[in-house]
Structure 1
Amino acid sequence: MMRFIELIRSCLTDVKEIMPWDLEERQLANPDLLIVDVREPGEFATMHIPGSMNVPRGILESACEWDYEETEPELVKARDREIVVVCRSGYRSVLAANSLQVLGFNNVASLKTGLRGWNDYEQPLVDQVEQPVDVEDGDDYFTTKLRPDQMRPV
């Protein structure tokens, strides 16, 4: 049986990762770059990279195709655009980038360290009404909060 982190590592043989400063450079160099945030809508509403598109991981594959209720036309037409996939920590985005590549997207990368790293690099995040999110609020949001029942038994 493969564990979660092993699944991520197995996808990394095919998925390119970029760091937050690389994304900043890519945004400046390519105004057509598409940032796809695969977190859930509530996570996206709390904070996201300005101009990013929210396509939750659970509907990503159908959002990439015509004729589904989840279809996102901009994403369907983006098979030849540069795409950077983001999530909270950089794990879901690896899985999502792998799926996009399997579905024929040609220029896909995952944001290593996710939005947590983006916030640590002090890059802009906005809330659901596009108002700036304070870096310290981001720090609090991205701090892992595990319940006791979520921790490995000793």
Structure 2
Amino acid sequence: MKLTKLMLATTLLVSGAFASEFISYKELSGQLLKENEKLGLRATTDEVKKALHSKDTLVVDVRTPQEWAAAHIKGSVRVGRQVPEKAIENFVLDDDGKLVKDKLIVVCNTAHRASLQAMIFRKMGFTQVKVYPIDEWIDECNPVVTKYSRQEYKDGKHHRFGAFYAEKCYEKN
């Protein structure tokens, strides 16, 4: 009985000590993003463009389904933040379970969520994991596709609406 009380007290003290070191999401993701930038692990737009055509690099979007539907980079894949560690296997392993894409560029709106997820992907053994904000892609007048970029009707007709650009990009032309 005394041992049980001692263990409970120890557990409460230890958990209390960790609680005092709590870091908010905003603070943690900001720290990780700064670390990625300092270590040169923030991808450039050119790196993303090259990765989209690379055999060993995957562009992974960790945003919500709604954000993905609104705009995403053509050729990227969405794994979301629900269970991305399992979902990523669908895109980086061959039929024999061999890793064929060992480099990632992780995308989200501002690269904060991407920084959190990149930390986990690195621990999974990917050789290079960089982060990238889709906001930068859009601001540099690169096209995005949406869930509504292509509609398929039951009668077999396909309507392509093409890629979309930020409004400021149309004003330039």
Give CA deviations for 1:84-112 in whole Å, capped at 9, x if unaligned.
1101111111111111001111111101x
Matched to 2:54, the amino acid is P
The TM-score, its normalising length taken from structure 2, stands at 0.62
CA RMSD of aligned residues (A): 2.6
Matched to 1:7, the amino acid is L
- Measure how far apart 1:80 and its partner are: 4.6
List alignment gaps of at least 5 residues for structure 2: 1-21, 151-161
- Measure how far apart 1:75 and its partner are: 3.2
What is the rounded CA distance, in whole Å, between the counterparts of 2:165 and 2:76 in structure 1? Answer: 18
Q: Among residues 120, 124, 133, which one is paired with 2:143 in the alignment? A: 124
CA 79–59 in structure 1, closer or farther in 2 if over 3 Å, else same: farther
- Measure how far apart 1:4 and its partner are: 2.4
Q: Among residues 62, 68, 91, which one is paired with 1:74 in the alignment? A: 91
CA 6–79 in structure 1, closer or farther in 2 if over 3 Å, else same: farther
Which structure's relative contact order is higher, taking Cα pairs within 8 Å and 6+ residues apart?
A: 1
1:31 aligns with 2:54: yes
CA 103–3 in structure 1, closer or farther in 2 if over 3 Å, else same: same
1:100 aligns with 2:124: no
Q: Among residues 58, 69, 72, which one is paired with 1:48 in the alignment? A: 72
- Are 1:101 and 1:108, in contact at CA under 8 Å, matched by a contact in 2? yes
Q: Among residues 43, 57, 60, which one is paired with 2:84 in the alignment? A: 60
The TM-score, its normalising length taken from structure 1, stands at 0.69
Matched to 2:72, the amino acid is H
Matched to 1:104, the amino acid is G
Matched to 1:74, the amino acid is F
Residues 2-11 or 53-62, more deviating: 2-11
What is the rounded CA distance, in whole Å, between the counterparts of 1:27 and 1:99 in structure 2? Answer: 20
- Measure how far apart 1:57 and its partner are: 1.2
- Are 1:80 and 1:107, in contact at CA under 8 Å, matched by a contact in 2? no
- Measure how far apart 1:5 and its partner are: 3.3
- Measure how far apart 1:2 and its partner are: 1.0
